[in-house]
Chains A and B, each alone.
Chain A
């Protein structure tokens, strides 16, 4: 029976683009994932991984070749377009707003399409504008706003529709550091206070690490990782080592290491070489030690490498690329 805890369920979603020459691109290939109510899910992957395509298929802006999508227990296809009342989106690369209308006019218009516009709703619009420090600009035409303000205005416009699920495709593009921080704190706050569900796609790992509890990493149309951020980090924390040698690394050592460990990076920090490596199996540490001893390297210090989501992500994506 329908899962009451789930906000979104995507089952075997596939989207193939065929160009005129008949060449087919499997932009989304048998993708399955779930988002729980109140969860902030990060959707990651290199350019062309299929993130935007997945989002647009869920929203019904693209027709998938196959797959079943369930939103709050309802089959999307069966309940379309009424079901759109439950989701909204900021789409990547698009304007999302009328540039010749003011921020407020846009917010009021797009919310009204979702049947949102009561007095209480309007108070909420004001609250959002304040949260995003756009209050002073509410009567400014969007075209006169800076890039970052435009982006924030699009986000406000999506949030103002008060839908339980919100898609944000590259929401921090063009935002300065401070504004990006502001957006993050607002998202966390809304997820917590209003129990809204977010699917955020971004190339900015700081943003994802900060706001998302779980990530789905896509590569070439497929999901390669679907895990809690904290679990993913601890997984990598125990495996990532940094070894400092006394003196430079001999050429032979570097060659041997790159042969044996895919993820190794050797940097010659002027005098003392540094080796960074992620080990995937328990026995790897002994092989590493053997290699070091065999090449007469003097170990000065061994430590766990500081991991952040960016490193984890790069590692996964690189590994994925090697495999294919």
Chain B
């Protein structure tokens, strides 16, 4: 099947690239870890001060927040930056010449990005847990589907902004800011009205329940899971629709390769 061979090729490309950019990847992870250490130190001095243990729960929350945030950033920036970079260098046009259609090349890239970022981010999680001595429940059978559900929203935003940046180059300035928007989304408490209809929020909450309380995925309220899937899928659909519109405009104005 041709689609599978395209997926395989994309995997090989990304594996090669990962090896070539290993220093970058490691230093990104290390800096995320450093930030975490700083926050952890801050939390510790605060809890030492308060003494009541009121902040107990927030340490786990912070670890999970960092963990999900890192995944989100990877998902979003791989998508948006790669689109922009490839348009500038010219490889995007070559990808658009794939007989399976660009959409499948993009989907393959998402899948491979997820797979290749999984191991390093799990290592980051292990490092965070080892540093704090807080061991969370890591049940992959529950975690992976929940992560994917959560990331749907990030992919949607990535498609939308990546597409918009093809047409309006200035949009790139938003890419950096999105990291902070994601932080905001990940710290919104569930009691805020309509929070669960925002991207990432409900998924993040489900991951928390699975990792802190040790609830297996199939024990989580099906209504919540369905809502999370529906919300994620909706954001992804809107993102893809925005992207398709931008692609049309880019083809009209000849912007797929603006080197």
Contact = CB atoms under 8 A, between A and B. Distances in A.
Interface of A: 17, 53, 56, 59-63, 81-85, 87-89, 91, 93-101, 105, 108-110, 112-115, 117, 141
Nearest to B90: A94
A153 B65 CA distance: 45
24 contacts: A60-B96, A61-B251, A62-B251, A81-B98, A81-B99, A83-B99, A91-B257, A93-B90, A94-B259, A95-B89, A95-B259, A98-B91, A100-B16, A101-B17, A105-B12, A105-B13, A108-B12, A109-B12, A113-B95, A113-B97, A113-B105, A114-B99, A115-B2, A117-B5
Nearest to A90: B94
B101 interface: yes
Interface string B159-190: 00000000000000000000000000000000
Contact of A110 (B8, B21, B94): B94
Contacts, number: 100
Contacts of A112: 5-6, 8-9, 12
Most buried by B among A81, A84, A87, A108: A81
Nearest to B17: A100
A8 B98 CA distance: 19
B17 A84 contact: no
B42 interface: no
Interface of B: 2, 5-6, 8-9, 12-13, 16-17, 20-21, 89-91, 93-102, 105, 248, 251-254, 256-257, 259
Most buried by A among B2, B5, B16: B16
A269 to B, nearest CB: 46
A82 B9 contact: no
Given A91-B257, A101-B16, A112-B9, A96 B96 contact: no
B254 A81 contact: no
Contacts of A109: 9, 12-13
Nearest to A62: B254
B93 A61 contact: yes
A47 to B, nearest CB: 16
Contacts of B91: 94-98
Given A17-B254, A105-B16, A81 B90 contact: no
Contacts of B259: 93-95
Contact of B251 (A63, A98, A117): A63
A56 B17 contact: no
Given A112-B12, A113-B100, A113-B105, 14 more contacts: A60-B96, A61-B93, A61-B251, A82-B99, A87-B97, A91-B90, A94-B93, A95-B91, A97-B94, A98-B17, A100-B21, A109-B12, A110-B94, A115-B2
Given A63-B251, A96-B91, A84 B256 contact: no
A82 B20 CA distance: 32
Given A84-B99, A113-B105, A98 B13 contact: yes
Contacts of B95: 113
Nearest to A141: B20
A30 B101 CA distance: 28
B5 A17 contact: no
Given A91-B93, A109-B13, A81 B257 contact: no
B98 to A, nearest CB: 4
Contact of A113 (B16, B21, B98): B98
A94 B21 contact: no
A2 B9 CA distance: 35
A101 B19 CA distance: 10
Contacts of A117: 5, 9
A98 B5 CA distance: 19
B5 to A, nearest CB: 6
Most buried by A among B13, B89, B99: B99
A53 B98 contact: no
A96 B86 CA distance: 10
